[in-house]
Amino acid sequence: MDITPKSWSELDTDNPIDLLHRTKLVTERNLIAMIKLEKGCVVKLHHHESEQTSILVSGRGVWWVGPEAKEVEMVAGQMIHFPSNYPHGITATEDCVMIDVVSPNAPMGVDSQKK
């Protein structure tokens, strides 16, 4: 087991959909991702078995949440939690940096929306 500090720059980055770049750390039980969304990026409404907590580090976005796709605006410094199988999606209204914690680790919503 390698118990040493890691830097985001040491991890692989991918681009699963247009305007979104993701760097992931996958552990036995969690997936922690730094997500950079460019203004105009749309992550379609989706759900997954894992719980997800999203922390908006910078920027601004509008989430659609729940079966009714209610709009919820989120600004830097805020966080939001989605229980298992709870529908959610986001549009970046500004360039954003977000940290997502998915537990247990599993594919993220953008993985089903690949380019």
Residue 46 lies in a domain: yes
Among 34, 43, 35, smallest CA distance to 91 is for 43
pLDDT confidence of residue 68 = 94
Residue 4 lies in a domain: no
* Phi, psi for 110 (deg, rounded to 5): -65, -20
Residue 34 lies in a domain: yes
Structure tokens at 114: 């690949």
- Write down how long the chain is: 115
pLDDT confidence of residue 114 = 66
Q: What percent of the chain has pLDDT over 70?
A: 97
Domain, as residue range, for 78: 20-107
Query: What is the tally of structural domains in the chain?
Result: 1
Q: Rounded mean pLDDT of the chain?
A: 94
Q: pLDDT digit string (tens) for 4-43?
A: 999 999 999 999 999 999 999 999 999 999 999 999 999 9
pTM: 0.91
Residue 7 lies in a domain: no
